[in-house]
Amino acid sequence: MTITLEEALAELRKARKLVLTAHQNPDGDAIGSLLGLGHMLQALGKDILLLLDDDVPTRYDVLPGHELIQKPEEGKTYQADLLVVLDASLDRIGAVRDAVQATILNIDHHPTNGGAADFLYLDGHRAATAEIIYQLWELSGVELTLPLAMALYTGIATDTGFFKFSNTSPFTMRSAARLLEAGVEPNIISEAMEIRPYSHVKGLADALQHVELWHEGRAAGVFLSYEQMQEIEATDSLIDMLRVIEGVEIATVLKYKEEGKARVSMRSNGIDVSAIATKFGGGGHKRAAGCGIEKPYDEARQELKAAIDAALAPTDKVDEAQAALREAAGAGDPTQPSAAIGAAAQ
């Protein structure tokens, strides 16, 4: 059932013992929301446990409290009043879902969230789940400490591409400003997020050898098989190299970390890639989405490319329709559109 922000805060206040989690393959928003809410609940005197079914990349060591994040122990059951799932729907939290016995409160900003939790607070207009945690902090009345501010700033900054994506709103900037007032040093966060081992930079170069363009240069992708992934260290930043290619409207990376199980990332400059991801059982946002495809390489690659072609096709048709209109209007020179075409193009 969906609830309001005030009701979400009431559930958090009501619980005494809480387990907090976020999605596997965690990003800055997953970690930032997890630690931010963790700090806020500690200030409210709650007994909290931060569980994440994945490794936490070392770049997050800059965030106070990162050492509190634990992996669920195999076979162990955790009892709590509330399990808070952040920045994802329940299918992306791995073993935590079955390991924790508690009522589930899901706080998320992905419009594709199907709402399987007992309580769901979803705001698809917020750039990051950390923005929602910021709103909860505003309502909570607790002090904005530096650890809390650093965590929320990291979540907001990373999900907005450091304040450059289309999801960056006046609210984003106002909350970031408030977090800076609490003492966050933006360069400390951005430097920590950008730093990577030499092997990742080398891996990026290797992976880029495999970039391909198709659909008249409107799609770009790197597709790496399990065998290639043994040689190439392809990281999440690869997609950012593809989405900036001139003329590219949809960029994708498909890679096999595990045999038979491809992980797909997609980015667009307006076409709804979350609709493509949803077809494969994933989700995300209009301009950034992802999914898993449990199929062999050739099949997965072909199906993904076909789905991207289908998403681009409606805009092919506009060109065709314009050409037909031009012909009907008897305009010999396509560089000199007739009034009818001008009207049609509005």
Window contacting Mn ion (CB under 5 A); options: 38-46, 157-165, 264-272, 331-339? 157-165
The item of ligand AMP, Mn ion, none sharing an interface with residue 36, based on CB under 5 to 8 Å by kind, is none
Candidate ranges 2-10, 42-50, 155-163, 180-188; the one touching Mn ion (CB under 5 A): 155-163
Residue 15 vs 152, nearer CB to ligand AMP: 152
Nearest to 158 by CA among 193, 123, 109: 193
Closest approach, Cβ 190 to Mn ion, in A, equals: 17
Does 108 engage in binding with Mn ion (CB under 5 A)? no
Instruction: Find all residues with CB under 8 Å of 141, minimum gap 6, and list them.
Output: none
Q: CA 159 to CA 130: how far, in whole Å? A: 9
Interface with ligand AMP (CB under 6 A) = 92, 110, 265, 282-285, 288-292
Tell me if 149 sits within 8 A of 183, measured CB to CB: yes
C-alpha 57, offset from chain centre: 16
- Pick the closer one to ligand AMP by CB: 172 or 265: 265
Residue nearer to ligand AMP on the CB measure, 175 or 265: 265
Nearest distance from residue 291's CB to ligand AMP, in Å?
5
Q: How far is the CB of 257 from Mn ion (least distance, A)?
A: 17
Task: Tell me the closest approach of the beta carbon of residue 81 to Mn ion, in angstroms.
Answer: 25
Choose between 124 and 217: whose C-beta lies nearer to Mn ion: 124
Judged by CB under 5 A, the residue of 3, 9, 15, 30 near Mn ion is 30
Q: How far is the CB of 265 from ligand AMP (least distance, A)?
A: 3
Nearest to residue 226, comparing CAs of 313, 128, 297, 136?
Answer: 297
Tokens 């969906």 belong to 2
* DSSP secondary structure letter of residue 258: E
Distance of CA 307 to the CA centre of its chain: 20
Beta carbons within 10 angstroms of residue 23's beta carbon:
27
Candidates 91-99, 126-134, 204-212, 313-321: pick the segment binding Mn ion (CB under 5 A): 126-134
The total of other beta-carbon atoms located within 10 Å of residue 185's CB is 12
**Residue 6 and residue 21: Cα distance in Å, rounded?**
20
- Contact status, residue 11 vs residue 142, Cβ threshold 8 Å: no
| Residue nearer to Mn ion on the CB measure, 25 or 190 | 25
The residue ranges that bind Mn ion (CB under 5 A) are 27, 29-30, 87, 128-129, 159
